[in-house]
Amino acid sequence: MKHRLFPLISLIIALTVATVMAQDITGGGSLLRDITGGAALIFRAPQNPTVHLASGQAPGGGRIKGRTPKPPVRTQDQIIARANAARSAPRPRYAEAEEQYQLAAKIAPDDARAHAGLGNVYVDQGKFADAVAAYQQAIKVKPDYAGAYLPLAFSLARLNRYPEAIDVYQQTLKFDASSPEVHNNLSFAYNHTGRFEQAVVSSEQAIKLLGETGEAYKLGFQERNEIRSYAYKNLGNAYSGLQKYDDAANALKKAAELDPKNASAHFNLGLTLYTAGRYSEAIESYKEVIKLRPQLGQAYFNLALAYVAISDKPAAMAQYNALKGIDAEMAKQLYDAIK
């Protein structure tokens, strides 16, 4: 069953740029960096728990046809079915869905479906801490409830709880060892914890499973090239972490080629090329970022420093002047680095 995807859980994680500074080998300032952030997580909205209704039985009780009155007490499956229907409505009724899943959990505390369904409602709304608690309860009462592991790991990653997310993704591989989603997201989490060698292995496995040719791996609303771009971006970030800058540049170029709108791939490519001393190429990467994100001050900042590296101070000052209208404080830092 397909579900709507809402802004709080956008499949393209918003471009984020850390304020961590990268060493500037030219002595003219420090690049603002985004090595592990940005669009790199694959996500599928979790499916509703399965229910087993009698033939012709409606979620609310009674029968679909005829005038048989509804029974005063609904069965557990009917309660969960009603919650599922509320969540999956064209205009989801989350309050109703949450209430019904909670009722199901109260009636049958050991029914993992009720807890997992509640977690799904929380994920839909971006309430990841609540989702974690619900999914963990589902796994506690039924350790082999496969449907709770993947959204639990995703929720942990969204909370920046990467070591825990890694542990859950690794457990998820026991249920689906050939999932590109799991391998890709493991790489993302490994990069965030500095485990770059493992990130390389996971990214390469994701890329292999996604395939260069043949039928696209189906993720519903996600395009094949989009998710391949995520995997190559994670691979490039991992190589950057290992200071293998040529390998990193190749992977990030592939990510940008597969999804030209992936501003984070272009941004990280600029960082990598700059660090490798390939300043003219870095300049072109940052120009692409500015085309895609004209209000992203960090791109102007880093572009200016790339111009400084090739001794083009007028071009650097032009970026400073553009940045003044976007972020005055950042512009001041840039001016101090240029002069």
- Supply the pLDDT for residue 214: 36
Handedness of CA 52, 54, 60, 65 (dihedral sign): positive
CA angle 321, 323, 327 (to 5 degrees): 135
pLDDT tens column, 88-106: 999 999 999 999 999 999 9
Of residues 208, 272, 281, 261, the one with CA closest to residue 237: 272
Give the C-alpha separation, 119 to 46, whole Å.
9
- Supply the pLDDT for residue 228: 87
Domains of the chain: 43-177 (1.25.40.10)
Low-confidence ranges of the chain (pLDDT < 50): 1-28, 35-37, 61-66, 72, 213-216, 219-221
Tell me the pTM: 0.81
DSSP for 220-274, written as a single string: TTB-HHHHHHHHHHHHHHHHHHTT-HHHHHHHHHHHHHH-TT-HHHHHHHHHHHH
Non-local (6+) Cβ contacts of 108 within 8 A are 76, 114
- Supply the pLDDT for residue 28: 41
- Supply the pLDDT for residue 237: 92
Handedness of CA 213, 219, 225, 227 (dihedral sign): negative
Burial class (CB in 10 A: 0-12, 13-18, 19+), 280: exposed
Residue owning tokens 């700059």: 274
CA angle 37, 244, 207 (to 5 degrees): 60
- Supply the pLDDT for residue 34: 55
- Supply the pLDDT for residue 262: 87
- Supply the pLDDT for residue 179: 85
- Supply the pLDDT for residue 12: 29
pLDDT tens column, 125-145: 999 999 999 999 999 999 999
Give the C-alpha separation, 39 to 289, whole Å.
14
- Supply the pLDDT for residue 70: 53
